[in-house]
């Protein structure tokens, strides 16, 4: 990692654990796949012959993307998971990543679990930490991830075709439930909250599914800002519209069975809003032709990840690109939007 900008008024703990001390202690490891890792001004990567590089970058800012109370190990996991989710949406295999980290102070009690959570997920996906930057400042985590994909096989947002089936992986809306518990707007029993909290703080990037969908899916995106908004990106890039069956989509909420029983707190419309626009799901939304249904099922089985067909791609309508319908095909009027980082 290159030198960071120094601060003339470092906290006492920062003086105890210097910049290069923390890099060596928590973030320097062997990199058998990379040509050169942490320690020089640049890292050196060598993709396999014939492969293209896939590159993505995400920033997490305290108070904007995560709560100050999140455990550091979970934060380390999520910081990398959101980037791996981008690689998954592209069908790329993880290769390496860099970490730029601003810290209020160099606190060993925080850094150790953070680095362990980060590197445990990196090891699970064979993704090596090869460089980055550190400095003092408000807590900010920026990761750039590198992957590789065969030429012409990357999953893009722009390939959806009229008549394609519309799918989503895993479950949606549970991360939003956990967030509302933290905000104090609702309560859940301990077991239900624990399940939802994992979805919020330790999302599972669907890397294996993305790779299995190469040559099968026509378009894909990761669901980070809510299904409604991220599906909208596919539709915009592909110049098409979509119809979504609300009676199927609402089943995607893992905690739905409990919530339906607490009618005084929730109703079906609120649950549907969490599924469609809750955000922080880090699942994949993708399209594939009806002729590929067996191939989609095989990809899901190979990746050990459930997928659900929730609708279909259609010609782009005038007005809203997404039509929401009930189980009988009757329209449902909804005003939804994706998470906006500047709203």
Domain spans of the chain, in order of start: 12-149, 157-325
Residue 241: how many CA atoms within 13 Å on its side-chain side?
A: 12
For 209-218, the pLDDT digits (tens) are 999 999 999 9
The pLDDT, as a whole number, for residue 336 is: 67
**pLDDT for res 323:** 93
- Which residue, 100, 118, 126, 134, is CA-closest to 19? 134
Strand 128-136 with 93-103, pairing = parallel
Residue 257 has a pLDDT of 61
* pLDDT at residue 58, rounded to an integer: 93
Question: Can you tell me the mean pLDDT for 153-174?
Answer: 97
Give the pLDDT mean for 192-198.
90
The predicted structure's pLDDT at residue 333: 80
Q: Which residue has the higher pLDDT, 202 or 34?
A: 202
At the top level of CATH, which class does the domain 12-149 belong to? alpha beta
Q: Is the pLDDT of residue 322 over 80?
A: yes
Q: What is the CA radius of gyration of the chain?
A: 21
pLDDT per position as a tens digit, 247-298 = 999 999 887 666 655 554 566 788 889 999 999 999 999 999 999 999 999 9
**Would the pLDDT of 25 be above 50?**
yes
Residue 197 to residue 255: CA distance in whole angstroms: 11
For residue 90, pLDDT beyond 90:
yes
**Residue 32 confidence (pLDDT) above 90:** no
Residue 6 confidence (pLDDT): 40
pLDDT tens-digit readout, 101-116: 999 988 899 999 999 9
Average pLDDT for the chain:
88
With bands split at pLDDT 50, 70 and 90, how would you rate the model's confidence at 319? confident
Instruction: State the pLDDT at residue 15.
Output: 44
Per-residue pLDDT at 8: 39
Per-residue pLDDT, averaged over 39-56, amounts to: 92
Q: What is the pLDDT of residue 261?
A: 59
Q: Are 320 and 243 in contact (CB under 8 A)?
A: no
pLDDT of residue 80: 97
pLDDT at residue 258 in the model: 65
Task: Please give the Cα distance from 272 to 277 (Å, whole number).
Answer: 8
Structure confidence at residue 67 (pLDDT): 78
CATH topology of domain 157-325: Phosphoribosyl-aminoimidazole Synthetase; Chain A, domain 2 (3.90.650)
More confident residue, 146 or 4: 146
CA 227/CA 322 separation, integer angstroms: 11
pLDDT of amino acid 59: 93
CA–CA separation, 17 vs 224, rounded Å? 35
Share of the chain above pLDDT 90, in %: 67
- pLDDT higher for 146 or 265? 146
Q: How far apart are CA 271 and CA 184, in angstroms?
A: 17
Compute the average pLDDT of residues 163-173.
97
Distance of CA 131 to the CA centre of its chain: 22
Whether 12-149 shares its CATH topology with 157-325 is answered no
Whole-angstrom CA distances from 209 to 66, 191, 304, 305 are 26, 28, 8, 7
Question: Among 38-52, 154-168, 275-289, whose mean pLDDT is lowest?
Answer: 38-52
């Amino acid at each position: 990692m290159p030198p960071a900008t120094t601060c003339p008024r470092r906290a006492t703990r920062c003086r105890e654990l210097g910049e290069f001390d923390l890099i060596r202690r928590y973030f320097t490891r062997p990199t058998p796949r990379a040509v050169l890792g942490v320690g020089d001004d640049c890292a050196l990567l060598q993709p396999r012959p014939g492969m293209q590089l896939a590159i993505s970058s995400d920033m997490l800012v305290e108070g904007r993307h995560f709560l100050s109370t999140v455990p550091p190990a979970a934060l380390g996991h999520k910081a990398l998971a959101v980037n791996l989710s981008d690689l998954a949406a592209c069908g790329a295999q993880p290769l390496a990543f860099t970490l730029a980290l601003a810290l209020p102070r160099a606190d060993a009690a925080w850094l150790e679990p953070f680095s362990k959570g980060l590197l445990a997920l990196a090891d699970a996906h064979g993704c090596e930490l090869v460089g980055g930057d550190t400095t003092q400042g408000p807590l900010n985590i920026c990761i750039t991830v590198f992957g590789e994909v065969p030429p012409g096989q990357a999953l893009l947002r722009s390939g959806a075709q009229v008549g394609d089936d519309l799918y989503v992986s895993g479950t949606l809306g549970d991360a939003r439930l956990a967030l509302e518990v933290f905000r104090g707007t609702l309560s859940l029993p301990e077991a239900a909250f624990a399940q939802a909290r994992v979805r919020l703080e330790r999302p599972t990037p669907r890397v294996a599914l993305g790779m299995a969908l190469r040559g099968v899916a026509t378009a894909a995106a990761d669901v980070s800002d809510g299904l409604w908004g991220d599906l909208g990106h596919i539709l915009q890039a592909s110049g098409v519209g979509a119809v979504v069956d609300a009676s199927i989509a609402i089943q995607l909420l893992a905690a739905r069975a409990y919530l339906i029983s607490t009618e005084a707190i929730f109703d079906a419309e609120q649950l549907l809003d969490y599924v469609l626009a809750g955000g922080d799901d880090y699942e994949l939304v993708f399209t594939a032709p009806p002729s590929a249904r067996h191939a989609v099922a095989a990809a899901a089985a190979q990746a050990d990840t459930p997928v659900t067909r929730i609708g279909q791609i259609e010609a782009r309508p005038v007005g809203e690109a997404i039509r929401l319908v009930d189980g009988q095909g009757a329209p449902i009027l909804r005003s939804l939007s994706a998470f906006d980082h500047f709203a």
